[in-house]
Amino acid sequence: MSGEAPAILLRNGRIIDPVAGRDQRGDLLVVGSTIAAVGAVDNTPATARVLDVDGCWVVPGLVDMHVHLREPGEEYKEDIESGCRAAAAGGFTAVACMPNTKPVNDCKAVTTYILERARAVGCVRVYPVAAISKGAKGQELAEYGELRHAGAVAVSDDGLPVMNSQLMRRALEYAATFDLLVISHAEDAALAAAGVMNEGVTSTRLGLHGIPSAAETVMVYRDLALAELTGGRLHIAHVSTAEAVACIRRAKERGAPVTAETAPHYFTLTEEAVGAYDTNAKMNPPLRTPADVAAIRQGLADGTLDAIATDHAPHSVLEKEVEFDRAANGIVGLETALPLSLELVRQGVLDPSGLVRLLSCNPARILGVAGGSLAAGAPADITVIDPEASYTLGPADLFSKGKNSPFLNRPLQGRAVLTVVNGAIRHDLLC
């Protein structure tokens, strides 16, 4: 590191670094691309940009292990540039992008393309998740060795459950050979069938086909059994049901090699949000019941659920301003995840360190990527959060091309005011 490297001094922040057990007021110095000093900083370079972050939290950069960037193939919904800008605005310094692009990311060429685009955009870190099966068709294994070497950090057929149990077993085994994480979209497709929302009295009242929570439960059971059989690392994506939380809790008690995530909408909204057929409340898995929401909050509090991930799923009005049955699943999440998650701290479900674990340390550790630490010498991936900021977001405020969110035009509290990736400021509301 030369003496001329650009430096940033964050002064008087509340520095929260769960891995180091630190939660105290202090300064943090970034020199070049690394964290140079934390706590009491005495050798600040004269050229350093000094930012007073009094009243703000200084935390390791947030890591979203589940987003859809839509490039290549559906750039009208999102591209790597707009998705990365949305991530930075939401406080994320890294995202893992799912393989359901067009073409599917099931080969080195697509993985390499995504990484090259991300490098050219130069905003946040992008970690490609490759497909479990060729074409995500659930029939043959993709080439995990080559994908791993090209830069894929995990495999998943997200959006499409792997219905063939033998293929899932072999995926867990073969992925273990290359130390790849297998991310499961745990849903029995035959039970989910034509369902478009949670099955129950609300679906009956609205006359919409229901997806029973059992569709998630049976698949979580199966995948846990296969992970314990094979020793392969399993990660359950977007947990939405109380039963799945209970299954995962018991499996962890047995020492199963499993981790799990949920998304902000699953601890914020219930199936009632469908209201009068609001397609921004249509997602897969669907929004569930108040009992499920309570169980997911408990799972986040007790460590059963390891990560909060957004499942950021941008769509255009072409997919959302249509009949509910025909509407695409999912909502954008990168720019609302932090205020919705901070609600858990305000409500006493989590302490600030616990929240930082779920949004940064744990996802970085599960993916085996940089980040999740504010230790001196670590890469300077840092998010500064103003936990009190009150604001609303309208469609035009979002960096994402997708405006499909039920959280627009309603009061939000807490936001990222500075996002630093590898020492470079990528989002800045401080000036």
Partner 1 sequence: MQFPHRHVLGLADFSRDDILTVLDVADSFKEVSKRDIKKVPTLRGRTVINLFYEPSTRTRLSFEVAAKRMSADTFNISVATSSAKKGETLVDTARNLAAMNPDVLIVRHSASGTPHLLARHVAASVINAGDGTHEHPSQALLDLLTVREHKGRIEGLKVAIVGDIAHSRVAHSNIIGFTRMGAEVALFAPRTLLPMGVEQLGARVCSSLADAVRDADVVMTLRIQRERLKDPLLPSWREYAEFFGINHKVMALAKPDAILMHPGPVNRGVELDPLVADSGQSVILDQVTNGVAVRMALLYLIMAREDEA
Catalytic residues: 311
**Of these, 11, 22, 117, 209, which contacts partner 1 (CB under 8 A)?**
209
> What is d(CA 239, CA 263) in angstroms, rounded to the nearest whole number?
8
User: In whole angstroms, how close is the CB of 412 to partner 1 at the nearest point?
Assistant: 25
Stretch that binds partner 1, among 2-10, 48-56, 208-216, 233-241 (CB under 8 A): 208-216
User: In whole angstroms, how close is the CB of 240 to partner 1 at the nearest point?
Assistant: 17
Say whether residue 370 binds partner 1 (CB under 8 A). no
φ and ψ at residue 403, rounded to 5 degrees: -110, 15
User: In whole angstroms, how close is the CB of 384 to partner 1 at the nearest point?
Assistant: 40
**Of these, 3, 323, 347, 396, which contacts partner 1 (CB under 8 A)?**
323
> What is d(CA 281, CA 276) in angstroms, rounded to the nearest whole number?
10
Say whether residue 395 binds partner 1 (CB under 8 A). no
Considering only residues 225 to 284 of the shown chain, the ones binding partner 1 according to CB under 8 A are: 276-277
Say whether residue 324 binds partner 1 (CB under 8 A). yes
Look-up: residue for tokens 């674990």? 357
**Of these, 21, 42, 166, 205, which contacts partner 1 (CB under 8 A)?**
205
How far is residue 425 from each of residues 20, 89, 112, 161, measured CA to CA in Å?
Answer: 24, 11, 25, 38
User: In whole angstroms, how close is the CB of 203 to partner 1 at the nearest point?
Assistant: 7
- Residue 2 burial by Cβ neighbours in a 10 Å radius (0-12, 13-18, 19+): exposed
Q: Which is nearer to partner 1, 178 or 277 (CB)?
A: 277
Considering only residues 174 to 203 of the shown chain, the ones binding partner 1 according to CB under 8 A are: 199-203
Considering only residues 291 to 320 of the shown chain, the ones binding partner 1 according to CB under 8 A are: 318
**Of these, 83, 159, 210, 371, which contacts partner 1 (CB under 8 A)?**
210
Say whether residue 325 binds partner 1 (CB under 8 A). yes
Q: Which is nearer to partner 1, 1 or 201 (CB)?
A: 201
Look-up: residue for tokens 């997806």? 211
Say whether residue 328 binds partner 1 (CB under 8 A). no
In the complex, which residues of this chain contact partner 1 (CB under 8 A)? 199-210, 212, 276-277, 318, 321-326
